[in-house]
Amino acid sequence: MNNIYLIGMPGSGKTVTGKALASILNRKHFDLDEETVRKYNCSIAELFEKEGEAGFRQKEQALLQASGSSFPDMIISTGGGVVLVADNVRYMKQEGKVVYLETSLNCLWERIENKTHRPLLKGEDPKAVLEKIFNERKALYESAGDFKVNTNGKSAEEVAKGIQEKL
């Protein structure tokens, strides 16, 4: 398989970059979060509320593996927490290339501070929660990625072209 998996923090641009990269490389794009919403007929936030994070991660893992094995040569935009499950990382590396969309904490916050659909950022101090998640996941993204592309101040098309150059 030659799938390309985009990983990174919420707000790093996985979905928009995935669409741009699919267009450049003339491949199909699959968005794991969008497919989760479609399949379970509810938002990610609602799934988190109903299933808890562990239940959500199980559903995410099943969809990741179904998408990767069913559709070769896809651009797959993952959810931000996909790297929390070691089996997901092993699977993605086995099925293709894993690209880490590296984004600074300040840039992430600018992109998502007014978004209300992010279940992990609910609470009194969403910026502090984002920083905590960022610090917990950064090493996971770096070790999971075959390479990284910085997204700070770049359009999805610029990031996609950067990925294409590194491929």
**Global pTM?**
0.94
Which domain CATH number covers 60? 3.40.50.300
pLDDT of residue 114: 74
Residue pLDDT, tens place only, 98-108: 999 999 999 99
For residue 152, what are the domain limits? 3-159
- Residue 167 in any domain: the answer is no
- Residue 53 in any domain: the answer is yes
- Residue 69 in any domain: the answer is yes
Q: What total number of domains does the chain contain?
A: 1
- Residue 166 in any domain: the answer is no
- Residue 97 in any domain: the answer is yes
pLDDT of residue 122: 72
pLDDT of residue 33: 92
Question: Dmax of the chain from CA atoms?
Answer: 43
- Residue 164 in any domain: the answer is no
Residue pLDDT, tens place only, 13-46: 999 999 999 999 999 999 999 999 999 999 888 9
H-helix segments, 41-125: 44-70, 86-95, 105-112
The rounded average pLDDT for each run of 10 residues, N- to C-terminus, in the chain (167 residues) is 92 97 96 93 90 92 84 91 96 96 95 72 81 96 98 97 97
